[in-house]
Amino acid sequence: MTKLTENNSDIGATEQLAAHPPKLSTQIDEKKSLPAPNIVPDGVSPPIQHPLDPLNADEINLTTRLLLASSKFQKYMRIIAITPNEPDNKQSVVNYKSKDQLQRRATATVRDPKGRTTYEFVVDLTNKTVEKCTEFNNAQPGLTFDEMIESDDLLRENKDLLAAFAKRNIKMDDVVFYPFSSGYRDETDLSSKRRIYRPYAAIRKHPEDNYYAHHIDGLVITVDLDSFEVEVEDHAIIPIPPKSGNYDPEGIKSPDNVPYFPDGIRKDLKPFIITQPEGPSFQIDGYQISWQKWRIRVGFNVREGLTMNMVEYFDQNRYRPIFYRAAISEMWVPYGDGSPAHNFKNAFDVGEVGIGILTNSLVLGCDCLGEIRYLDGIVNNNQGQALLLKNAICIHEEDVGLLWKHTEFVEQRVQCRRSRRLVISSMITVGNYEYGLYWYFYQDGTIQFEGKLSGSIAPGAYETGKPPVSGGIVAEGLYGPHHQHFFNMRIDWMLDGMKNSLVEVNCEPIPKGPQNPAGNAWIAQETILKTVGEARRLHDDKKGRCWKIINSQSKNHVNQPVAYKIIPSGPPCYPLCDEDSCQGRRGVFARNHIWATQYHPEELYAAGLFPNQSPGDDGIVAYSEKHKNESLVDSDLVTWYTFGVTHIVRPEDWPIMPIETCGFRLKPYGFFAGSPALDVPPPVAKECHGGTCLKH
C-alpha cells in the first residue's frame, strides 16, 4: 500500500463535550430505551475503568462527532471501523492505578467512495481532538453490512443478471444474494482501481428454506461498492440442485429433504441441567475477570472481536504475568475448487470484514450452558453510530473430567481431583460459516484456545455425470468445494516480565554407542531462535517439535529459566494451493506455523492492515523481512502462531456441519515449583452421584 499524506496537526476537530456521569453497571443501561435497531445513544454506557477497556458507546459516538467536525471528512464518506488505539507504552498500562488519568484514543478507518481513497484518523478522546490523518491511495478497508445491503436492490435491477436468470428459468423474486469477498484474481482487482465484492445467488423456495441447497452456479457477479456498478460473467448453465437441505425440526421430516428423518427429532433425550447453587466461582469487575488464581482482562473490538489482555496467575504471593495481549490477527479460508465460479474464493475474515462486527448476540439459544454471565460488545455502523451487540461474550465454568488421580498400590489409598476450567467465548457468523472462539483457563496453569467450526458449506452445483474434481458430493446436484481454514494468533508475551526469548525443542535419538548402549535413549534438544529471520518455523511431528517462551532472567527452583510451551491441539495444517498462485501469494502467513518479532505497536495483523483486494505484500511476511536481523534474545517478544483445519467435504457435513475443532495449548514448563493443581480441594462424594470418586 502507499501512504500519500500524513498530517500530525490538529485538523480543526476540537470539540468541548460534557462528560457523562459514571454508571455502576458493567453493561448498557437498558432502562433507557435504545433507538432502533441496537443504536446506542450517549449517556447509557458503563464508565471506562482501565486503558485496555473496549471503546464504549460514548467514545464511538464522540469519535464520529470529531470526524464530522474535521475538514478532512466529508459527510458522504463511510466510517468502516472505529477501534481502540491502545497505548504504545505497555509498561504504563501495567503500572496503571485507578487514580491515574486515563488517556484514551481511537482509530477510525474511513472510505471515500468518490475519491476512491481510504483514510485512517487517530482521535484523542481525552482531549477531544483529531490527532492525525493518514491517506492511502491503494488500500481497501473491510467490507460492511451497510454497503452490501445497499447493493441488493442494484443487483435485482441489473439487466445482465435478469437475463442470466431468465436463461435458467429463475424468477428474481425467488433469488437470495449472499455475500462473499472478492479475493484477488488479477490486476483488475487491485484495490486502487475499485472496491468490490462477489456475491453468490441461490433460490429460496419458502421463507424458512435453506437457500444454500439451491445454489445457482456458473455465475461470477462483481459489485463495485464505490460506483455501484455490476459485472456479470456467465460461464455455464448448471441445473439448480433440487433437494431441500433444511435443518429445523419440521423441515427434516420432509421426504424431499437431505437428510430425511421421517420421525422428526429424537424423543429419548433426558434433561441435562447444570446448576451452581452458590453461583459461579469467578468475579467480574468491569472487563476484568478473576477465577482460581487467574486474572484476565477481556477486550473486544470490531476487527479482532474477543481479545485476552494482561493474563496473570497468582503464585508465590503475587500475580505473575504470562502474556500482555492475545488476539486472532487473521483467519484465511482458501478454497480448492478450480472452476471459474469458485477459484477466486479465499476469504480473510478478520481483515476483509471484521470478526467483531460478525459476533453473535447470545440472547437466544444454548451456545453456553450453566451459570452464565455475559459482557456486551459495542461496534459501529457506516454512519459511525455505536451499535450494541448484546451478550457478545459468554463467561462460565465447565467440569472437564479428571484433573489428576493416583492410587497407592500397597495401601490402596486413592486421591483424585476434578478439573474445572473457566471458559470465555464468543460466536461469530461469517456468511455460511459459524466459528466459536473459546479461551479456556485451567487449574493447572494451562491456557487453551479452541476454534469450533460449524455452519453450512459454501456449496457448488454440478451436472449429472460430471462430478466435481475438488469437492465432496452432499446431495443430488450439490457439492461442497474442499477448502482449508487457517487462524493466526498473535501473542504479545510478558512471561514474568517483558524480556523473553523463543526456544525450539526437537526430540532426537542419541546415536547407539557408549552413551546409548541399549539404543533407547533420546534427548529434547533446545535451540534458541536468536533473530527474527531465524524465527520462521514449521512443525515436525517426527521430532515432536514445539516451541517454548522463556525468561532467562527469571529462574525456577531448579535454576532453569521459567517457560511456557506452545502445543498444537491437532495435526498441523499446510497450505495446499500453489505458492505462486493468487491465493498462495495472499496467504503467506500460513507457510510457517510460527513467526516471531519484537513488539512494534503498529504490527497487529498477519495479513497486513488492509488485506481486502490485496495481492499479498503486507503482514507478517513483510514485518519478518523488515526486522530479520533484530535480536529476539531477551526481547519484547511477539509470536504469530498459525493453526487450522483441512476440510475434505463429506455427506455428513450437510446441511449443517457438526463441530470441527482446532487450536493450541499454552502449558507451563518450569514456570511453577511443581504442580500448581495440588491445592485444588477433593470433590464432595455426594456431588459425584454415588460417592465413588473418593474411597480411602
pLDDT class of 29 with cuts at 50, 70, 90: very low
Q: Does the pLDDT of residue 2 top 50, yes or no? A: no
* Predicted local distance difference test score (pLDDT) of residue 153: 92
pLDDT class of 17 with cuts at 50, 70, 90: very low
* Predicted local distance difference test score (pLDDT) of residue 363: 74
Q: Which grid coordinates belong to 395?
A: 463467561
Express each pLDDT in 455-506 by its tens digit.
Answer: 999 999 999 999 999 999 999 999 999 999 999 999 999 999 999 999 999 9
* Known active-site residue 433: yes
Between CA 174 and CA 185, with CA 180 as vertex, the angle to 5 degrees is 125
CA–CA dist 298, 437 (Å, integer): 13
CA–CA dist 603, 593 (Å, integer): 18
Express each pLDDT in 623-646 by its tens digit.
Answer: 999 999 999 999 999 999 999 999
High-pLDDT (> 70) share of the chain, %: 93
CA–CA dist 58, 384 (Å, integer): 11
Strands (E), 213-279: 215-216, 219-224, 229-234
Q: Does the pLDDT of residue 19 top 50, yes or no? A: no
Fold match between 3-136 and 283-499+531-541+562-686?
A: no
Asked whether 362 and 394 are in contact (CB, 8 A), the reply is yes
Rounded to two decimals, the pTM is 0.93
* Predicted local distance difference test score (pLDDT) of residue 32: 41
Task: Say which of 349, 376, 618, 636 is annotated catalytic.
Answer: 349
* Predicted local distance difference test score (pLDDT) of residue 167: 98
pLDDT class of 30 with cuts at 50, 70, 90: very low
What is the sign of the dihedral through the CA atoms of 317, 446, 433 and 339? positive
Express each pLDDT in 346-357 by its tens digit.
Answer: 999 999 999 999
Among 20-29, 127-136, 211-220, 443-452, the least confident range: 20-29
Asked whether 158 and 166 are in contact (CB, 8 A), the reply is no
* Predicted local distance difference test score (pLDDT) of residue 364: 60
* Predicted local distance difference test score (pLDDT) of residue 359: 97
* Predicted local distance difference test score (pLDDT) of residue 685: 74
Q: Which grid coordinates belong to 77?
A: 464518506
Asked whether 350 and 499 are in contact (CB, 8 A), the reply is no
High-pLDDT (> 90) share of the chain, %: 88
Asked whether 295 and 289 are in contact (CB, 8 A), the reply is yes
pLDDT class of 689 with cuts at 50, 70, 90: low
Asked whether 92 and 61 are in contact (CB, 8 A), the reply is no
pLDDT class of 37 with cuts at 50, 70, 90: low
Among 23-27, 327-331, 449-453, 549-553, the least confident range: 23-27
| Phi–psi pair at 448, nearest 5 degrees | -135, 140
- Domain-by-domain residue ranges, the chain? 3-136, 145-241, 283-499+531-541+562-686
Express each pLDDT in 247-280 by its tens digit.
Answer: 999 999 999 999 999 999 999 999 988 999 999 9
Of 61, 62, 66, give the one whose Cα is nearest residue 385.
61
Parallel, antiparallel, or unpaired: how do β-strands 471-475 and 460-461 relate?
A: unpaired
Domain over 145-241 is classified CATH 3.10.450.40:
yes
Asked whether 663 and 449 are in contact (CB, 8 A), the reply is yes
**Residue that the C-alpha cell 485538523 belongs to:** 11
Beta-carbon contacts of residue 488 (< 8 Å; ≥ 6 apart): 328, 329, 330, 331, 332, 589, 590, 606, 607, 620, 640, 641, 642
- Give the architecture (CATH level 2) of 3-136: Roll (3.10)
* Predicted local distance difference test score (pLDDT) of residue 12: 39
* Known active-site residue 349: yes
Average pLDDT value for the chain:
93
283-499+531-541+562-686: CATH class: mainly beta
Task: Say which of 184, 433, 462, 605 is annotated catalytic.
Answer: 433
